[in-house]
Structures are given as structure tokens and as C-alpha cells.
Amino acid sequence: MYSAVIDQPGSYLNMATPMLRLVLYKGEVCRLPQDCKGIKVLSGNAWVTVTGKDITLAQGEKKSFISDKDFILVSTLRHSPLVFEAWGDSYKKIKEKRA
């Protein structure tokens, strides 16, 4: 199931610290952990595939996902590197253990 829910109060994208921060270069593809619930593009342009749907995100854009069984693929568009952050359940579990 794909959802275009963006920045709801209490969503993963409103947390201060992401579970991942990655840099991808032209031709590279990243398969995000299944518990990833959202991404934010810090620099460059992203091509995101989730549940067979393609989404493009530009610098500063973010998107939340509701997808328990499907994986998320991220790659860069154009020639500039892509820098992005991902949020998900892994971060939530680590935060709960520290508390």
C-alpha cells in the first residue's frame, strides 16, 4: 500500500534524528530497510520506487510512507549526488531502549 502522507504531527519525519543519512552517486541504487517510513532529500534529486510507484523528490522535499511488506528503492536523478535521510522503526526502537 502506498501513501502520500506528508508531515503529519507525530510522524517519523518530525523526529530530530534520522535512522540513516546516505549519499548516492550517479548509477547507484539503495534498497532501504523494510521498516523505513519516510525520507527527506537534503541535496540533489531522488527517484523513489515504492509499491511499484515512482516518485521524484527535489532538495528539501520529504515524504512519509505506509508500507509494511514492500521495500523502497532510492536512486539519484541527473548527475549530481543525492544526499538524503531516512526515518523508521529502527530509530524508534533505539530511542525506546535509551529511555
DSSP string, 40-82: EEEES-EEEEETTEEEEE-TT-EEE---SS--EEEEE-SSS-E
Q: Is 76 exposed, middle or buried (0-12, 13-18, 19+ CB in 10 A)?
A: buried
- Regarding pTM above 0.85, the answer is no
pLDDT of residue 19: 80
The rounded distance, in Å, linking the Cα atoms of 88 and 94 is 11
CATH fold of 12-98, please? Jelly Rolls (2.60.120)
pLDDT of residue 69: 64
pLDDT of residue 72: 87
Q: pLDDT by residue for the chain (99 residues), tens digit each?
A: 333 343 444 454 455 567 889 999 999 999 988 778 889 999 999 999 988 889 999 999 999 887 666 778 999 998 899 999 998 765 444 444 445
Of the candidates 74, 72, 86, the one whose C-alpha atom is nearest the C-alpha of residue 40 is 86
pLDDT of residue 16: 55
Number of neighbours of residue 72 by Cβ within 10 angstroms: 22
The three-class DSSP label of residue 13 is helix
pLDDT of residue 99: 52
78 contact partners, CB below 8 Å, separation of at least 6:
26, 44, 45
